[in-house]
Structure 1
Amino acid sequence: MFSEEVIQKVKEQNDIVDVISDSIRLKHTGRNYIGVCPFHHEKTPSFTVSKEKQIYKCFGCGEAGNVITFVMKTKNLNFPEAVKVLAERIGIDIEENKEKKVERAKYDKMYNINVEAARYFYNNLRRDEKAYSYFKNRGINDSTLKKFGIGFALDGWHNLRNHLKAKGVKEEELLNLGLIIKSPKGSLYDRFRNRVIFPVFDYSGKVIGFGGRVLDDSKPKYLNSPETPLFKKGIHLYGLNFAIKSNMDRTVIIVEGYMDCISLHQYGITNVVATLGTALTEYQAKLLKRYVDKVIISFDADLAGQNATLRGLEILKKENFDIKVLQVPQGKDPDEYIKANGKEAFLKLVNNALPLTDYRLKKAEDGINFSNKEMIIKYVNSVANILSSLQPIEREVYVKQVSQSTGLSEESILETVREINKKNFKK
């Protein structure tokens, strides 16, 4: 960490009006400066900057802070990273001890190797007609391919290895980053071969790993980087680096796959992230909590997707998000739906997404015949578990709803809920 003296020097020598003016247009009004808030969507400027106090505050969304917090939030940086950016801006050399310098240099080199690999894959895409056509046929334009750095791994055992070795990268470094594999006999070969490549970025936009998809029916369909010093499974969210730069209004849509995320971004829906086909983890939920309060989850309609949705809902609930579930009609995924129906139709689905409790009650109805008494009892017991976790007023609203659908009295449903609460209390 930096000394208070260094931090104070960075704040004093980086005028907040100058720094903020680098990214948004400010108008001098009286003693302050006014502009359109970069943290939420607004038409009437409510973002105020005080040159005298060296602080900012938005009277629309409540975001406030100093020059360091502004850089942290707009550039997706942590505190030390923001201090470094501001120090470099004014030419201050922030000293690090020898050990930290060595560690930082090691990680910088790993990031640079990944960037070089990503650049190599990206340049390959247009050289392979089949790979390029794969995205063209799926409606992905050149601008989107560039934004996400999408590329192609040529069909060969040593293409990437030879390319990076020629640039001075050692085989041990390639192994460490999972870019090549060592066989049981000791031979080295490229991990990604004959696959379209999706670079995976961390929240700040650094390339931490890769995902590759085959162009035919061979297995595995998807192949991701292994665990490396940079890439940890269940830690990152695909597209988060882009989402937090958008006017996301503290709301994010979570989808499953690369193409779901990419297609929605192309259509201008940019507050979208993907879990990359895995169930949402607690770490990912905590990461999201830094940036959003509302989550709309839209996983695939197949059984695996529905199970992932249910697991994800429980994790999000623990972090106290405002949660909704978006169900795409006819079992389609978001990628398919938006291409067939357009942006406005998808936004209508977003606006009609079910609140968490409504979704859980709807799922409880699956397979229930309300003319069958035994099924009604099964349904009420299932529903009572859901209602038991609600606040009293919310519970009362849903008890009325369940009463109407089952024909049972509100009191009998409430009594079932009370019994469940008693059992849970004893545990």
Structure 2
Amino acid sequence: MRENRGGAESMRDKVDALKQAVDLRDLFMERYPGRFRRSGKWLYGSSPYRTDRRPSFAINEDIYIDFATGERGDEIAFVMREQGVNFKEAVETLQARAGGVHLSPAPQHERESPSPSEPPSAAWQTVMRAESSHAQTYLYASAPDAQAALHWLQTRGLTLDTIRRAGIGFNPTWKQTRLRERESGRAVFIAPGILIPCEIDGALWAVHVRILTDADLPKYLYVRGSKSSGLYNGDAVCAGCDVLIVEGEFDALLAGQMLGERAVVVTLGSAANKLPRRWLDRLQVARRLYSCLDNDEAGQRATAQLADRLGDRHHALKLPRGKDITDYVVRHGGNLTAWWDDQTAPFAPRPVQLPLLDTFTPPR
């Protein structure tokens, strides 16, 4: 444990001390006995939070990572997720843990979820539509945190019209919903941050939360019960259109705002999310398929996977500067429409050139 210097211990010091006192691997092994195998300092196994046919979940002493979805967290995030509590309550739980109180094992198959190719239950959609509507109303309130959230969105190049049409909202604090997790019965909470609903063909597939202020949480969290396999803006794909696949919702909104009728812009929300057969079939009606994922290792891997799934109809586009579309436009002042026209020109069909006659003799 860290030495308490100068009197009252700050929350940050308290959290750091708890992380040193509690090994995250022990928490997972007690909660899910027999699910993970050890290799060096890591535990490996299938995710306890989703159907995971190819084990892609890893845990060390202070972090867990789902390599398939990109989700990661620490001891605090683990307790918040497992027990449906807020940050302060999670700290108190870990303090009890450090004092010798252990977590009980989870019931077998507690986290098994319905098919990822189908949207959440009607009950989940009803509750989360109401919560999303409330968050959308709050985003335009006069409260300082709401105004700060709206300003953050606008600094990413999004217009008020784009923000409203996307149904984006803001949730200021941890909020308990009327939903309960299957099997365990624990309450479902919404994290504080910007709420991004993913609605496709009249079904609410997911609510993604962009965390703005809590450095102890990942930047993005899904509300429990969301299906991260939804194709954001997928219902806009139509026969004969050009489709641009990007990595996140904010890139999709900005690109769609700037490209207009040039392309339908969609995203799976993360480079780690795979393209299910449901959306692969939907994309078959498009004229041409393009992708522009983040300029990093994860984005490059995801681009290669898209090429394998989509075949010769897929063309990967590259930005001249910046990590992603938002960075290119906002930070580097890039002209996205000019970039699009230049990048897609080599793949556009060329008009048929008819041979010209040297002379023309009218019929007699």
Q: Quick one: which of 294, 305, 313 aligns to 2:288?
A: 294
C-alpha distance in 1 between matches for 2:288 and 2:168? 29
**Equivalent residue, structure 2, for 1:415:** none
**Equivalent residue, structure 2, for 1:133:** 151
The answer to whether structure 1 residue 273 and structure 2 residue 271 are counterparts is: no
**Equivalent residue, structure 2, for 1:219:** 217
Runs of 5+ consecutive residues of structure 2 not aligned to the other structure? 1-119, 349-364
Q: Quick one: which of 322, 326, 329 aligns to 1:338?
A: 329
Write out aligned runs for 1:283-322 (5 A). 283=277, 285-317=279-311, 322=313
**1:330 counterpart SS class:** coil
Letter in 1 for 2:228: K
Asked if 2 retains the 8 angstrom alpha-carbon contact of 1:328 and 1:349, the reply is no
- Structure 2 CA distance for partners of 1:296 and 1:219, relative to 1, 3 Å: same
C-alpha distance in 1 between matches for 2:345 and 2:305? 22
Cα displacement string for residues 59-105 of structure 1 (whole angstroms, at most 9, x for unaligned residues) = xxxxxxxxxxxxxxxxxxxxxxxxxxxxxxxxxxxxxxxxxxxxxxx
Write out aligned runs for 1:1-12 (5 A). none
CA shift for structure 1 position 189: 5.8
- Structure 2 CA distance for partners of 1:300 and 1:284, relative to 1, 3 Å: farther
C-alpha distance in 1 between matches for 2:129 and 2:158? 22
C-alpha distance in 1 between matches for 2:123 and 2:180? 14
Asked if 2 retains the 8 angstrom alpha-carbon contact of 1:279 and 1:311, the reply is no
C-alpha distance in 2 between matches for 1:133 and 1:305? 28
Q: State TM-score, norm by structure 1.
A: 0.46
The answer to whether structure 1 residue 323 and structure 2 residue 323 are counterparts is: no
Asked if 2 retains the 8 angstrom alpha-carbon contact of 1:279 and 1:312, the reply is no
Q: Quick one: which of 227, 231, 234 aligns to 1:232?
A: 227
**Equivalent residue, structure 1, for 2:14:** none
- Structure 2 CA distance for partners of 1:193 and 1:285, relative to 1, 3 Å: closer
**Equivalent residue, structure 1, for 2:89:** none
Q: State TM-score, norm by structure 2.
A: 0.53
Letter in 2 for 1:201: E
- Structure 2 CA distance for partners of 1:303 and 1:197, relative to 1, 3 Å: same
Asked if 2 retains the 8 angstrom alpha-carbon contact of 1:251 and 1:294, the reply is yes
Task: After superposing the two structures, state which structure 1 stretch, 286-295 or 148-157, moved more.
Answer: 286-295
The answer to whether structure 1 residue 152 and structure 2 residue 170 are counterparts is: yes
- Structure 2 CA distance for partners of 1:107 and 1:155, relative to 1, 3 Å: closer
Asked if 1 retains the 8 angstrom alpha-carbon contact of 2:206 and 2:228, the reply is no
**1:336 counterpart SS class:** helix
The answer to whether structure 1 residue 119 and structure 2 residue 133 are counterparts is: yes
Cα displacement string for residues 204-244 of structure 1 (whole angstroms, at most 9, x for unaligned residues) = 14322200011144421100134x4xx4333x211112x32
**Equivalent residue, structure 2, for 1:46:** none
- Structure 2 CA distance for partners of 1:117 and 1:244, relative to 1, 3 Å: same
Asked if 2 retains the 8 angstrom alpha-carbon contact of 1:256 and 1:275, the reply is yes
CA shift for structure 1 position 275: 1.5
Tell which structure's C-alpha radius of gyration is larger. Answer: 1
C-alpha distance in 2 between matches for 1:210 and 1:221? 14
Write out aligned runs for 1:342-381 (5 A). 342-351=335-344
C-alpha distance in 2 between matches for 1:143 and 1:289? 27
**2:206 counterpart SS class:** strand
Q: Quick one: which of 195, 206, 220 aligns to 2:203?
A: 206
- Structure 2 CA distance for partners of 1:289 and 1:132, relative to 1, 3 Å: closer
Asked if 1 retains the 8 angstrom alpha-carbon contact of 2:290 and 2:316, the reply is yes
Greater RCO (Cα-Cα under 8 Å, separation 6 or more): 2
CA shift for structure 1 position 254: 0.5
CA shift for structure 1 position 114: 2.6
- Structure 2 CA distance for partners of 1:354 and 1:284, relative to 1, 3 Å: farther
C-alpha distance in 2 between matches for 1:197 and 1:244? 23
C-alpha distance in 1 between matches for 2:133 and 2:185? 20
Letter in 1 for 2:193: R
CA shift for structure 1 position 287: 3.4
**2:151 counterpart SS class:** helix
CA shift for structure 1 position 337: 2.1
Cα displacement string for residues 9-66 of structure 1 (whole angstroms, at most 9, x for unaligned residues) = xxxxxxxxxxxxxxxxxxxxxxxxxxxxxxxxxxxxxxxxxxxxxxxxxxxxxxxxxx
Identity of aligned residues (%): 21
- Structure 2 CA distance for partners of 1:132 and 1:280, relative to 1, 3 Å: same
C-alpha distance in 2 between matches for 1:354 and 1:223? 37
Asked if 2 retains the 8 angstrom alpha-carbon contact of 1:326 and 1:354, the reply is no
C-alpha distance in 2 between matches for 1:290 and 1:312? 13
- Structure 2 CA distance for partners of 1:149 and 1:352, relative to 1, 3 Å: same
- Structure 2 CA distance for partners of 1:294 and 1:284, relative to 1, 3 Å: farther
Query: Over aligned residue pairs, what C-alpha RMSD do you find?
Result: 3.0
**1:113 counterpart SS class:** helix
**1:341 counterpart SS class:** coil
- Structure 2 CA distance for partners of 1:334 and 1:288, relative to 1, 3 Å: farther
Task: After superposing the two structures, state which structure 1 stretch, 146-155 or 128-137, moved more.
Answer: 128-137
Write out aligned runs for 1:48-67 (5 A). none
C-alpha distance in 1 between matches for 2:318 and 2:343? 9
**1:267 counterpart SS class:** helix
Asked if 2 retains the 8 angstrom alpha-carbon contact of 1:326 and 1:350, the reply is yes
